[in-house]
Each structure stands twice: as C-alpha cells, then as structure tokens.
Chain A
Amino acid sequence: GQSLEQPSEVTAVEGAIVQINCTYQTSGFYGLSWYQQHDGGAPTFLSYNALDGLEETGRFSSFLSRSDSYGYLLLQELQMKDSASYFCAVRDHGGATNKLIFGTGTLLAVQP
C-alpha cells in the first residue's frame, strides 16, 4: 500500500521556526511536494523536491532524503497567516500519468 505520515498538529509562536516532517512509503516516487490549505480554501503549492537536499523559497524550505523516504517543510519567521493545514504529497507514477498522493496532513497553529 501507499502511506505518507505526518504529525497531526503542531503549535508554535509568531516569529519562531517550525519543522513539519513527512515519511512516505509508496510504490513509485518522482518527487515530494508540499501544499498549504487554509480552512475552507483550496490547497496551494508551496514547494517540490525531486532530488535529495534543501530547496529554499523565501520563508519556506523543503528537504528530501530519498534513501530515508523522508522529507520536511521548514517554516521560518512564522506569521499568524501561516496557520493552516500542510500536506506533503508524493508524485507517483500511474502509467502515462503522474498521480499526486497526499499525506495525512499537519494542522499548524501559530499563536501570538
């Protein structure tokens, strides 16, 4: 089967740094993405790692270790607007079409 595990909830204060982990077990793997979803909103793309290492995009960074089937999203200088659900997602191969399989999701609460 396929599984992507994340912590269910994380709480942090404004200005802090938080790391959201993702461990995955999938039949195929092309890359690991991260999506943010505010309550009642659409998931929006944050980052993508196809190769091992760290990708930085502003306050957000994402890391991948393919040998460990592990990745994380690092959020720096937390702001109240960062309170949302965060999903890792594996880009799996479904024949001629890639499938995006989402992790269990982490609800991040940023407190003043």
Chain B
Amino acid sequence: DTEVTQTPKHLVMGMTNKKSLKCEQHMGHRAMYWYKQKAKKPPELMFVYSYEKLSINESVPSRFSPECPNSSLLNLHLHALQPEDSALYLCASSQAPAGPGTGELFFGEGSRLTVL
C-alpha cells in the first residue's frame, strides 16, 4: 500500500466555521507533512511531523492547527479562516524525516478548501 489518503476531497466553509482535514498513511512512514498549494503555484511547506512530534512550523498562522494522533494519522484543524486561505491542502509522508536516501515524498490527492 503506497497510498496517502486525504479526506474530505472538497470542503467549503465560512470564516467562522471550525473544520478539520484528515490524512492517513499505512506505509510505516515516520515523517508527515502539510503543504498548501494555490492554483498554478508550487506546493508550500506548512508543517512537518517527525516521529509524531511537530518538527517544523513554517510560520503558519495559528488559525491552522496541526495534530498527529499516531504514526498513521495527521490532521489539520481549521478555525476562523480567511478567503485567501482557499487552496489545495496536500498531505505527504516520507519514510524518515532525514538521513540517506532520496527523501521521496508520497502525496495524497489533496483537500480542496474554499473559504467564503
């Protein structure tokens, strides 16, 4: 199983709503990532979890709150978002957070978020 599964695929929310994006992988990977991607732009790193601990936060606003309940799951909690936060949110995993090898990231299909 080389899949990273993200739910929901599409989400529409108002600026006062609270919602969560979910990500799951069963490859035994120990690093998990959240990226944000705007149309026709590259993915931008938001957070990295290494062995279920938050390792990197790329100065992301606190209205985005990541959580890693266990080694297979990664959540992104959303609260009081702005319309400019509308984007594709990509989850990814890699075998290890560092070390030798290609560092290949396995991406999910993403959750397309629209903030009204």
For window 18-69 of chain B, which residues contact chain A by CB distance below 8 Å? 31, 33, 40-45, 48, 50, 55-56
Chain-B contact segment, one of A12-20, A37-45, A67-75, A76-84: A37-45
For the complex, give the distance between the alpha carbons of A45 and B109 in Å.
14
B48 contact from A30, A31, A87, A94, Cβ within 8 A? A94
For the complex, give the distance between the alpha carbons of A21 and B105 in Å.
21
A97-B48, A97-B50 in contact; A91/B42 too (CB < 8 A)?
Answer: no
Report the contact-size class of chain B (Cβ under 8 Å from the partner): 20 to 34
In the complex formed, the residue of B with least CB distance to A92 is B45
How many residues of chain A get a CB closer than 8 Å to chain B's CBs?
Answer: 26
In the complex, are the beta carbons of B109 and A42 less than 8 A apart?
A: yes
Q: Does A98 contact B (CB under 8 A)?
A: yes
List residues of chain A with CB within 8 A of the CB of B108: 42
In the complex, are the beta carbons of A31 and B103 less than 8 A apart?
A: yes
In the complex, are the beta carbons of A43 and B97 less than 8 A apart?
A: no
In the complex, are the beta carbons of B41 and A105 less than 8 A apart?
A: yes
